[in-house]
Amino acid sequence: MRHSPLLRRIAAWSTAVAFSLFSTTAALANAPEGPGDATLRQALDAARAQQWEKIDMAEINGHPLAGYIEYHRLRERLPNLAPEAVLDFIERHADSPLAEWLRGQAIARYGAAGRHRQLRRVADGEPQGTHRQCYYYTALLDTAPETAAKGGRALWRVGRSQPDACDPLFDALRERGEIGEQEIWERQMLAWQQGEAGMVRYLGRLLGSRWQAARDTLARLQQDFAAITAVPRCIGPDCRGSDALFAAAMHGFTRADTEAALEAWRKIATHLDLAPTVHDAIERDLAFYLLVRDIDAHTAWRDEVVARLAEPELLELRVRTALAERDWQGVIDWVHRMPDEPRREARWQYWLGRALEQLGDPTTAREAYAAAASERNFFGFAAADRLGQPYALNQEPNAVTDADRERVAAWPAVQRTEALLRIDEPGLAASEWYAAVARAEPQDARALADYAARRGWHAKLVQTTIAGQLWDALEWRFPEAYREHFLRWGRETQVDPYLLMGVARRESAYNPEALSPAGARGLMQLMPGTARLVGQRLGLGDPGPYGVLDPALNIRLGSTYLSNLLERYRGNRLAAAAAYNAGPGRVDRWLRDAPESFDLFVESIPFRETRDYVQAVLTYRVIFESLANGDDSEAVSLLTAAEKNVRYDGSLLARH
């Protein structure tokens, strides 16, 4: 929405969150080189290149990062390094991620070399990573065979290929009979579910003649799911393959043609002797797809399954179906069927209030709204608006004593973080910092957050509040970051600057180097094509993959793009936020089929990611504006009057 008066009211504000690298530029700008840093930097480069003759340990002893050189030296000596040397390093560096890194390297190198005794010596329970887990359980085959068999079967029971490191473990367990033909069949069915045709064929070749009829049945169903009504009910020796086959076949059939799958299932279900968990999983799948695909037939069967299984996700979908149908009594009934924890969430208490209001019970509706309004989120704020009361920010002060500050600043992990930033190793610095936060007691976590705030590490600060569960420390969770850029480009594009902050907070948590799996980049997570198009329209040309990471340019391009979306949707921030996440084409379609009120529009968004995104962005902008206004925060509103009252349908589109 265009809110130029907001620009004049900004005093201060806050936000961020990212589990990726720090802002290298910001971190290094505040970190002058310390004593021995240049020598350590050269030594680290040499260690990575295994050029040990270039390293004089006497020159770096005493430096906070000397352990990184030792780590590389020990790692290169594996697997010929004695486990006692590994354990000694782990003990001396227990407060650093280096300890577990070397343990993991030792497990991998010892395992690949077949040095099982050494591996057992350094292992500390099941390691992370599939290939290391396979090495670990292989090493336990002779000393702890039951543990090895249990772990190995869990690694086997997946529908995809596992690393080559698992082959010796699987071969040994097959030889010992711990993985037999039934386990092979079950894995083959999992592979079929996941579309791994090559693995299906490979596993089929491992089955003996007793499974020939089962293989024939599988081949028939691979050609035609509908044949499930005509295949034998007993699959495999002693019917031990029935559960896996019918689960896999119904899995594929339900996704391919839900109505036909249900009709087939209702014909055969009573004739099958399946485990209750398998039976319920099949019916759960059927009910789920009946709901998400809006299939109106079989509603009585669907509702019986939803009620019987009482699974939160199914119940949520059922409530949304009732909302789409304006079945207000149904909303109440299905919300009341939810388990206590989800039912008490602001979202469902809000919808209880709305339903009760629609059915003429304003007193009970206010009770539901009051329960929702105690929470700091979209529906909590919407409930507060219904009650005409201020938003519950539930903010706590960021109190840290000078003594806490001095103590945390002296922590070796903090000193290593600073040193790594000074030598331009932001990734390692992030690892050190997050490891320190993970180990910290609550008050120490607060002191670490305070340290990050004072150093201007915005992205790291937010992650610290998450790891430390400092949920109500709003000035840390929403810190000042890139303030002048949001103000300038909010003013230039006439976009609510708090909305820009909310978008950036949700998109990247203020990590200017953020890169999504889809390729979106920077603070406002612009896709390359969008950045190029907007840049060209502004006469700036294509910023390229690295130019778009510049915070000022990224905010300028993102602000302009958001301004275009606001124009498309007549200034409506809910629709524009949805389009920023899911694309305007989808939002155009949703609006043409949408409910009429703002809350029903948000709840009806079919993509959970976008539904959550819109709520988060609008919630964050309320928090930003509230922090900026301070004592004046009661004037903050989740939505404008127009956004609350407009019809959310095709009429919201500025262009048709």
Count CA atoms closer than 13 A to 332's CA, side-chain side.
Answer: 13
Decide if 65 contacts 41 (C-beta within 8 A).
Answer: no
Q: How far apart are CA 623 and CA 608, in angstroms?
A: 22
Count CA atoms closer than 13 A to 527's CA, side-chain side.
Answer: 10
Q: Is 617 helix (H, G, I), strand (E, B) or coil?
A: helix
Q: How far apart are CA 307 and CA 288, in angstroms?
A: 12
Instruction: Give the residue carrying structure tokens 């907001």.
Output: 6
Decide if 121 contacts 83 (C-beta within 8 A).
Answer: yes
User: Angle at the Cα of 168 (from 167 to 174), degrees rounded to 5?
Assistant: 85
Instruction: Give the residue carrying structure tokens 């939002």.
Output: 587
Q: Is 644 helix (H, G, I), strand (E, B) or coil?
A: helix
- Angle in degrees, 0-180, between the axes of helices 458-467 and 442-455, rounded to the nearest 10: 170
Decide if 476 contacts 453 (C-beta within 8 A).
Answer: yes
DSSP, residue by residue, 498-545: HHHHHHHHHHHTT-TT-B-TT--BTTTTB-HHHHHHHHHHTT----HH
Decide if 506 contacts 475 (C-beta within 8 A).
Answer: no
Judge whether 507 counts as a catalytic residue. Answer: yes
Q: How far apart are CA 346 and CA 382, in angstroms?
A: 10
Q: Is 360 helix (H, G, I), strand (E, B) or coil?
A: coil
Instruction: Please provide residue 515's backbone torsions phi and psi, each rounded to the nearest 5 degrees.
Output: -135, 120
Q: How far apart are CA 500 and CA 14, in angstroms?
A: 12
Cβ-in-10-Å burial (0-12, 13-18, 19+) of 442 comes to: exposed
Q: How far apart are CA 172 and CA 142, in angstroms?
A: 11
Q: Which of 188, 129, 126 is closest to 161 using CA atoms?
A: 188
Residue 1: count of CB within 10 angstroms of its CB: 19
Return the amino acid letter for 6: L
Q: How far apart are CA 317 and CA 310, in angstroms?
A: 12
Bridge partners, residue 526, by sequence = 521
* Residues in contact with 655: Cβ distance below 8 Å, sequence separation at least 6, in sequence order: 568
Q: How far apart are CA 251 and CA 261, in angstroms?
A: 9
Q: Which token pair is 228?
A: 């499930």
Return the amino acid letter for 208: G
Cβ-in-10-Å burial (0-12, 13-18, 19+) of 366 comes to: middle
Return the amino acid letter for 428: L
Cβ-in-10-Å burial (0-12, 13-18, 19+) of 542 comes to: middle
Find the catalytic residue in 183, 316, 418, 507: 507
Report, as residue numbers or ranges, the catalytic residues: 507
